[in-house]
C-alpha cells in the first residue's frame, strides 16, 4: 500500500514523484512501461531521432488523414524514464500569455502559473528582465556551438521585418531568437535528470519500470466511484496491483492517460461498449479535444557545406566526446520565430523553426547532400480530433485521429506561414546560402500547388494535448483542481488536461502543470 500511485514516468510523472516524495511521511509508487534512460543516444542532443521506432518509443500511428492524402502519420512518444523529454528536441518554449489567460480557469492564468515556470527553471547564460527562474532543477542553456547558418537565418528574419527578441520566453513571445534548450554542458537534461534521479535514493519512493498499467482499480465508495490503485503487468508477465490510500495520479500523457481511463471504464458508454469494456463512469469527453501542432518544412540544398549532414563524421564525434561541443551538441532546431501572419491577432499564429540540416521524414531519410530546413508550424489549429479505445486488451493501441486540416481556416493559415518562410529564404542574409529546393523538388507556382505540397508532406511536431480536458464545466474530464469528475481519489496531471494547445511547445507547460498539481495534491 502506498499513499500515492503515479502512472507514467514522463515529464509530469518525474516532477510529481520528486515533489510528493519530498515529504518523508508519505510513500509514492511510480509505474513506467519503459525502462531506464541509460542509452547513449538519449544523452547526445543531436541523436534524438535515432531513438524513434526503437524500444524507447511507443511509435504510434494515426488513422489515415483525409486532408493529408490519406496518410497515416507517425507519432513518436517516449517509452522510457523521462518520457518524451528523453527523446525530444529539448526546446524550452513556454507559449504566449494569452494561451493561459485564454483557458479562463481559476488558478491557471499566466500571472498565476508563471511562478511555477520559475520554480522549474535553472536558466544560465541569459535572464533578461528576470524572465526565467535560476535555481530550479531543470537546466536551460544556450546552445554551446550553434551552426553558422543559424545566425544567417536570424539575420534574415530581421531583414524580413520580424522583431529580434532578447528572450524567446517573454510573456509576449512574438519575434525571433535562438532556441533555449534543456541541456547542461552539452548534454540533454531531461525531466528524469532534473527530478527523478535526485529522488530515487529516497526510501519512500518506489520506481517500477518495464510495467504496463492495464487498468485503474475503481471501487464503489459511499459517495460513488473511488480509485483505489492501479493494476499493472510486470516484465515477467505477472499481474500486480499497486494500491493507493490517498490518490492515483495519471501522468501517462495525451495518449496514455485517456486510454487508461477508457480501459478502466471511464468514458463514452457507446465507445466503451464497442470495445467490450464495462462502464464505470460516464464521461463523454475522455479522448476528445485532441489537438496537435502540424508542421510543414521547406527544405533546400545549400552550397555552404557546414550543415549537420556531417554530424556523425569522426571529427565531430571526437569534438563532442572531448569537449561536448560540435554538431552533436545541437538540438537540431536551433532558432525560432513566432509570427503574426495578419494584424489583430492576440498572439502569433505561426512558428518558424530553423534546422541546419535537411530534416526529412523524422530523420529516417538520409539527405542527398548539404541543406537546411525552415519548418512552418500552425500554432492554434481550429481542427480537433479524438482518441478512441479499440479493445479491452491494454496492449492494443487506441485509434488516434487528429483530424488535421478539417477546418479550412487552418489550411489558409498554413499557407500564410509558408509564404513568410519563403520570404525569409529570399532575404539577403539567407538567400546566399539557398540552393535548389530539396523538398519540394521545385518551388510551387501558386497556392494550389503549395497546398498540394502541404497535404503530401506535413507531419506532426510531436505535441498532442487536450484529451482529458480541464474545465469549470461539468462536461470537462477534470476540474481546475485536476480531479477526474465522477471518480474520487483520481487526478490527471499532464498535457492531456490542456483545454487549448499553447503557442509554444508542450514540454514546458507539462512540467508546469505537474508542479502546480503537486501543490494542489499537498493542499499548499
Q: Nearest 5 degrees, angle CA 487-CA 489-CA 493?
A: 90
Nearest C-alpha neighbor of 439 from the set 371, 377, 379: 371
Round to the nearest angstrom and report the end-to-end CA distance of the chain: 24
Of these residues, 96, 433, 463, 505, which one is catalytic?
A: 463
Q: By CB neighbour count within 10 A (0-12 exposed, 13-18 middle, 19+ buried), where does 395 fall? A: exposed
**Contacts of 181 by beta carbon, 8 Å cutoff, 6+ apart:** 45, 90, 91, 92, 140, 141, 142, 143, 331
Helix (H, G, I), strand (E, B) or coil at 230: strand
Q: Phi and psi (nearest 5°) for 64? A: -55, 135
Nearest C-alpha neighbor of 137 from the set 521, 522, 514: 514
| Residue 463 bears catalytic tag | yes
Length of the chain, in residues:
524
H or E element, residue 455: helix 447-457
Nearest C-alpha neighbor of 301 from the set 366, 372, 376, 363: 372
The string of DSSP letters for 437-491 reads: EEESSS--SSHHHHHHHHHHH-EE-S--B-TT-B-SSTTSSB-TT-BBTTEETEE
CA 27/CA 23 separation, integer angstroms: 8
Our measurement of the distance from residue 520's CA atom to the centroid of its chain's CA atoms, rounded to an integer in Å, reads 23
Nearest C-alpha neighbor of 158 from the set 14, 337, 329, 388: 337
Quote the DSSP letter at residue 195: I
Nearest 10 degrees: CA dihedral of 260, 261, 265, 270? -100
CA 228/CA 256 separation, integer angstroms: 19
Write out the catalytic residue numbers. 463
Amino acid at each position: 500500500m502506498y499513499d500515492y500511485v503515479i502512472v507514467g514516468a514522463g515529464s509530469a510523472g518525474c516532477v510529481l514523484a520528486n515533489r510528493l516524495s519530498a515529504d518523508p511521511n508519505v510513500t509514492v509508487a511510480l509505474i513506467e512501461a519503459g525502462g531506464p534512460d541509460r542509452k547513449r543516444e538519449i544523452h547526445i542532443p543531436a541523436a534524438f531521432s535515432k531513438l524513434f521506432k526503437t524500444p524507447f518509443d511507443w511509435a504510434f500511428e494515426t488513422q489515415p488523414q483525409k486532408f493529408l492524402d490519406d496518410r497515416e502519420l507517425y507519432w513518436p512518444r517516449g517509452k522510457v524514464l523521462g518520457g518524451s523529454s528523453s527523446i525530444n528536441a529539448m526546446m524550452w518554449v513556454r507559449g504566449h500569455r494569452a494561451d493561459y489567460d485564454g483557458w479562463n480557469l481559476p488558478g491557471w492564468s499566466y500571472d498565476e502559473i508563471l511562478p511555477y515556470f520559475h520554480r522549474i527553471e535553472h536558466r544560465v547564460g541569459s535572464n533578461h528582465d528576470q524572465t526565467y527562474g535560476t535555481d530550479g532543477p531543470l537546466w536551460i542553456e544556450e546552445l554551446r556551438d550553434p551552426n553558422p547558418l543559424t545566425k544567417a537565418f536570424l539575420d534574415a528574419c530581421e531583414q524580413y521585418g520580424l522583431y529580434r527578441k532578447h528572450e524567446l520566453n517573454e510573456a509576449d513571445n512574438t519575434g525571433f531568437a535562438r532556441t533555449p534548450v534543456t541541456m547542461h554542458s552539452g548534454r540533454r537534461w531531461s525531466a528524469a535528470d532534473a527530478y527523478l534521479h535526485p529522488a530515487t535514493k529516497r526510501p519512500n519512493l518506489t520506481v517500477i519500470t518495464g510495467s504496463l498499467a492495464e487498468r485503474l482499480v475503481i471501487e464503489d465508495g459511499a459517495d460513488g466511484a473511488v480509485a483505489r490503485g492501479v493494476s499493472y503487468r510486470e516484465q515477467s508477465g505477472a499481474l500486480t496491483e499497486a494500491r493507493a490510500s490517498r490518490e492515483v495520479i495519471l501522468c501517462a500523457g495525451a495518449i496514455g492517460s485517456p486510454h487508461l481511463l477508457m480501459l478502466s471504464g471511464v468514458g463514452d458508454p457507446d465507445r466503451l461498449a464497442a470495445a467490450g469494456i464495462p462502464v464505470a463512469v460516464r464521461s463523454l469527453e475522455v479522448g476528445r479535444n485532441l489537438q496537435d501542432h502540424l508542421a510543414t518544412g521547406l527544405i533546400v540544398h545549400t552550397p555552404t557545406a557546414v550543415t549537420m549532414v556531417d554530424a556523425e563524421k569522426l571529427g565531430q564525434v571526437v569534438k563532442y566526446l572531448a569537449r561536448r561541443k560540435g554538431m552533436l551538441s545541437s538540438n537540431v532546431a536551433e532558432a525560432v520565430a513566432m509570427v503574426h501572419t495578419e494584424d489583430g491577432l492576440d498572439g502569433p499564429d505561426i512558428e518558424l523553426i530553423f534546422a541546419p540540416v535537411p530534416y526529412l521524414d523524422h530523420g529516417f531519410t538520409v539527405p542527398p547532400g548539404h541543406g537546411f530546413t525552415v519548418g512552418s508550424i500552425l500554432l492554434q489549429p481550429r481542427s480537433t480530433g479524438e482518441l478512441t479505445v479499440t479493445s479491452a486488451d491494454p496492449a492494443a493501441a487506441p485509434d488516434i485521429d487528429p483530424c488535421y486540416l478539417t477546418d479550412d481556416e487552418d489550411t489558409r493559415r498554413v499557407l500564410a506561414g509558408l509564404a513568410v518562410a519563403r520570404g525569409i529564404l529570399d532575404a539577403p542574409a539567407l538567400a546566399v546560402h539557398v540552393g535548389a529546393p530539396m523538398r519540394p523538388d521545385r518551388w510551387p507556382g501558386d497556392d494550389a500547388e503549395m497546398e498540394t505540397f502541404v497535404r503530401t508532406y506535413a507531419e506532426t511536431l510531436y505535441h498532442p494535448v487536450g484529451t482529458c480536458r480541464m474545465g469549470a464545466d461539468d462536461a470537462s474530464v477534470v476540474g481546475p483542481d485536476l480531479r477526474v469528475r465522477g471518480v474520487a481519489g483520481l487526478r490527471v496531471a499532464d498535457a492531456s488536461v490542456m483545454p487549448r494547445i499553447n503557442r509554444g511547445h508542450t514540454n514546458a507547460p507539462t512540467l508546469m502543470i505537474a508542479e502546480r498539481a503537486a501543490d494542489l495534491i499537498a493542499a499548499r
